Structure 1
Amino acid sequence: MSVLRMVGRPLLASMFVAGGLHSVRRPKELAPIAESVVRPVSDRVGALPERTEQVVRLSGAVQVAAGAMLATGRLPRLSALALAATLVPTTLAGHRFWEEDDPSQRAQQRIHFLKNLSMLGGLLITADDTGAAPSLLWRGRHAARDLRREARLVRRSVRATSRPAAAVAGVRAKLPV
């Protein structure tokens, strides 16, 4: 693992672990803010709990677990996707700058909204990062290319040896037995 990954992953994950712990410990504080996003999502996704506090706590638990996994380098691509999935509704619920009337509050919420979008971008890059190991698609393409090259070599060697063998067989056929 590169030094940048060793340092960058825990830095990216730190905000999610801290925020997730807050959500797990104090879901009642965040439930009123989350209500506007949780209700429509809960109505469409039957697997989510009914109460907003439970959804906030579940989201926080996912953030803590996935954040810890990302920080330690365990399944970093999957954990980055899980964090990204929790970040979208969190951002939409918590930083609705377009609803603010006070210009200073609007500016503050816009900053937090854009900060979350930046973190989402980092998570998406992390989810795509193969850790310097080639992806399965790359491996498959190169394996196919190598097989085609080896097949061409076999075909050439068969052709190269078949001509002299045919010539020898022709000469043997003409010789008396």
Structure 2
Amino acid sequence: MDVVVLIGRLLFVALFAVSALGHLTKTSQMAAYAASRGVPLAVPATIVSGLVLLVGTVSIGVGLWADIGALALAAFCFATAPMMHAFWKESDPQARMAEQVHFFKDTALGGASLVMFAFFAYACHDLGLTVTGPALTIG
């Protein structure tokens, strides 16, 4: 079972790893998009969000206080959804649909991150293939 959980963890964080890489290597392009969506201090926000993504990815991927990493990814997703994908503000039907898809993708990933947090906080001490147990515990 440990190997299945490890594979699931790595597949889950792959999307976040790619996003972190983009935030940290294409900062000016990502910040320009963030600024166009009304994000204040877009360059520092892009760098900080890239670091949050990186920390969450590494934390879950290697199992180093993975519960905290899952919370970091949840916070990123729940902040990003309304800030970057406010589909209700779009007047063009195609743009509205695209932003709605991204909004619900982010909220779904945030929800999955919360489930992963609960999983690690409840059962991580029984899982193998992690560097540490959870920082927080439930139940």
Q: Which digits, 9 at most, give the CA deviation of each residue in 1:17-54, with x for residues without a partner?
A: 11011011122222244345643xxxxxxxxxxx3201
Q: Which digits, 9 at most, give the CA deviation of each residue in 1:54-111, with x for residues without a partner?
A: 1211110220122022112221101000111122222223212112222122112111
Higher RCO (CA-CA < 8 Å; seq separation 6+): 2
Q: Do the aligned residues in 2 keep the contact of 1:18 with 1:64 (CA within 8 Å)?
A: no
Aligned residue pairs, count:
127
How far is 1:132 from its partner? 5.7
Q: Tell me the equivalent position of 2:86.
A: 96
- 2:12 matches 1:22: no
Residue pairs, 1:22-61, within 5 angstroms:
22-35=22-35, 38-39=39-40, 51-61=41-51
The structure whose Rg is larger is: 1
Q: Which has the higher helix share?
A: 1
TM-score (norm. length: structure 2):
0.78
Q: Tell me the equivalent position of 1:149.
A: none
Q: Which digits, 9 at most, give the CA deviation of each residue in 1:2-23, with x for residues without a partner?
A: 3442121111111111101101
TM-score (norm. length: structure 1):
0.63
Q: For residue 9 of structure 1, give the secondary structure of its aligned residue in structure 2.
A: helix
Q: Tell me the equivalent position of 2:123.
A: 131
Letter paired with 1:97: F
Q: Do the aligned residues in 2 keep the contact of 1:27 with 1:54 (CA within 8 Å)?
A: no
How far is 1:137 from its partner? 5.7
Q: CA RMSD in A?
A: 2.3
Letter paired with 1:80: A
**In structure 2, how many angstroms separate the alpha carbons of the residues matched to 1:98 and 1:2?**
42
